[in-house]
């Protein structure tokens, strides 16, 4: 009888723990922004409004995922001084960001600047985005990337940044090191250095859980981010990333060229959406172009895009395969192969279906 009661008690405790974990996981998800896209919404918080009332207003305007999660957050954080007034909020803001603005008052929302940096975008895109959202120019961004004094401070402050970023052959020093996310700055007068430092802080936060694992691999963060940037661009679908990483490592072990088109695009400073590549560009000798001469077993000299932490994880934990080839169609779907014959068959099928990239 006692044994039966003990088993029942254990089962009950396990179920309670599972319930707590499930509730916590749901709560965390409900705290996220309703959208990754920037969409500004003007709302009015009435005078004397309670957290419940404010939650209703925000949910009605599709600014939060759950009134319940919003109310729980305000209770857990003892939030009781949210101010009435008109606010310009954004759908890419999480609950904590929204509450922070509501506590500061309506004027704060109208002076702050939200900037969303996307995964898979290069530094030219980042410069344009900063210029469009702040009082900085694209030249300001590029000049900061060349500022030796600033770069030395960055190298000294962040464990994952080394002298690798100062290689003269690298186009943009901090390419791949700035974590793509949505950030809120106090005003359009924010400096490029402040923007970069905020993004580097976030990258440090994201990489910290992997720090000991990275050290055990013996691979530098620079190489890790470089491979991750190629994977980010080659694998449009998250489920393909560990597979693409496997192919890259297998080809390097076999002293084969990576043969990655995305590296060629970066080498010639042309975005993939602009046009197809020319054969002469594929053959270009350039430390970024893995299709060029003398690039067998090599990766680009540096990262070629911003990377998400899921991609970093995929590169640290690649699939165990014998695949040496992959090809992506025009829709981003990736096809893997172990042999040249299998690879050519994949290409033939894509050509027949009109999904193959053609070169001039």
Q: What is the rounded distance in angstroms from the CA atom of residue 27 to the CA atom of residue 43?
A: 24
- Assigned domain for 213 exists: no
Q: What is the rounded distance in angstroms from the CA atom of residue 128 to the CA atom of residue 60?
A: 33
- Assigned domain for 349 exists: no
User: SS3 letters for 339-355?
Assistant: CHHHHHHHHHHHHHCCC
pLDDT band at 29 (very low <50, low <70, confident <90, very high): confident
Residue-wise pLDDT for 69-94, tens only, equals 888 888 888 888 888 888 888 888 88
Q: Are residues 136 and 156 in the same domain?
A: yes
Residue-wise pLDDT for 92-141, tens only, equals 888 888 888 888 887 666 667 889 999 999 999 999 999 998 888 999 99
Say which residue the tokens 């080839």 belong to.
Answer: 325
Exposure string for 31-67, b = 16+ CB within 10 A, e = fewer: bbbbeeeeeeeebebeeebebeebbbbbbeeebbbbb
Residue-wise pLDDT for 268-308, tens only, equals 888 877 787 788 778 788 999 999 988 888 999 999 999 99
Q: Which of 53, 77, 111 is the last residue of a domain?
A: 111
Q: Are residues 223 and 305 in the same domain?
A: yes
- Assigned domain for 326 exists: no
- Assigned domain for 292 exists: yes
| Global model pTM greater than 0.85 | no
- Assigned domain for 352 exists: no
- Assigned domain for 358 exists: no
Q: Which of 111, 146, 180 is the last residue of a domain?
A: 111
- Torsion angle of alpha carbons 25, 29, 30, 32, nearest 10°? 150
Q: Which is higher by pLDDT, 149 or 6? A: 149
* 332 conformational bin, left if phi > 0, alpha if psi -120 to 50, beta if neither: left
Q: Which domain holds residue 146?
A: 114-208
Q: Which of 162, 185, 208 is the last residue of a domain?
A: 208
CA 20 vs CA 13, 23, 98: distances in Å: 10, 5, 26
> What is the domain-level CATH number for residue 98?
3.30.1490.480
DSSP letter for 334, please: E
Element (H, E) at 295: none
- Assigned domain for 360 exists: no
Q: What is the rounded distance in angstroms from the CA atom of residue 137 to the CA atom of residue 128?
A: 8
Q: What is the rounded distance in angstroms from the CA atom of residue 21 to the CA atom of residue 27?
A: 10
Once rounded to an integer, what is the mean pLDDT over residues 155-173?
96
- Assigned domain for 340 exists: no
Instruction: Tell me how many domains the chain contains.
Output: 3
Helices 241-253 and 221-234, interaxial angle, to 10°? Answer: 120
Angle, alpha carbons 327-332-333 (nearest 5°):
65
């Amino acid at each position: 009888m006692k044994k039966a009661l003990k088993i029942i008690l254990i089962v009950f405790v396990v179920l309670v723990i599972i319930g707590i974990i499930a509730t916590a996981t749901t709560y965390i998800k409900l705290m996220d922004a309703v959208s990754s896209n920037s969409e500004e919404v003007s709302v009015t918080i009435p005078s004397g409004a309670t957290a419940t009332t404010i939650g209703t207003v925000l949910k009605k305007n599709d600014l939060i995922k759950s009134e319940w999660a919003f109310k729980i957050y305000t209770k857990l954080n003892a939030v009781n001084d949210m101010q009435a007034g008109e606010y310009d909020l954004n759908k890419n803001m999480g609950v904590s960001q929204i509450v922070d603005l509501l506590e500061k008052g309506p004027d704060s929302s109208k002076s702050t600047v939200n900037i969303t940096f996307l995964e898979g975008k290069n530094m030219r895109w980042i410069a344009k985005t900063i210029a469009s959202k702040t009082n900085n120019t694209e030249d300001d961004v590029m000049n900061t990337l060349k500022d030796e004094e600033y770069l030395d401070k960055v190298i000294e402050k962040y464990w994952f940044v080394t002298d690798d970023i100062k290689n003269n052959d690298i186009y943009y020093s901090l390419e791949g090191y700035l974590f793509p996310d949505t950030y809120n700055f106090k005003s359009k007068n924010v400096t490029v250095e402040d923007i970069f430092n905020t993004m580097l802080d976030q990258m440090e936060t994201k990489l910290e859980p992997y720090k000991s694992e990275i050290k055990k691999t013996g691979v530098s963060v620079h190489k890790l981010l470089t491979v991750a940037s190629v994977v980010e661009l080659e694998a449009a679908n998250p489920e393909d990333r560990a597979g693409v990483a496997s192919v890259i490592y297998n080809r390097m072990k076999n002293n084969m060229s990576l043969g990655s088109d995305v590296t060629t695009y970066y080498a010639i400073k042309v975005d993939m959406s602009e046009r197809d590549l020319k054969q002469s560009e594929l053959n270009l000798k350039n430390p970024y172009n893995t299709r060029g001469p003398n690039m067998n077993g090599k990766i680009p000299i540096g990262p070629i895009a911003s990377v998400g932490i899921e991609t970093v994880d995929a590169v640290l934990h690649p699939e165990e395969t014998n695949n040496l080839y992959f090809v992506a169609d025009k829709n981003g779907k990736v096809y893997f192969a172990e042999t040249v014959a299998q690879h050519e068959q994949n290409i033939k099928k894509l050509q027949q279906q009109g999904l193959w990239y053609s070169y001039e």
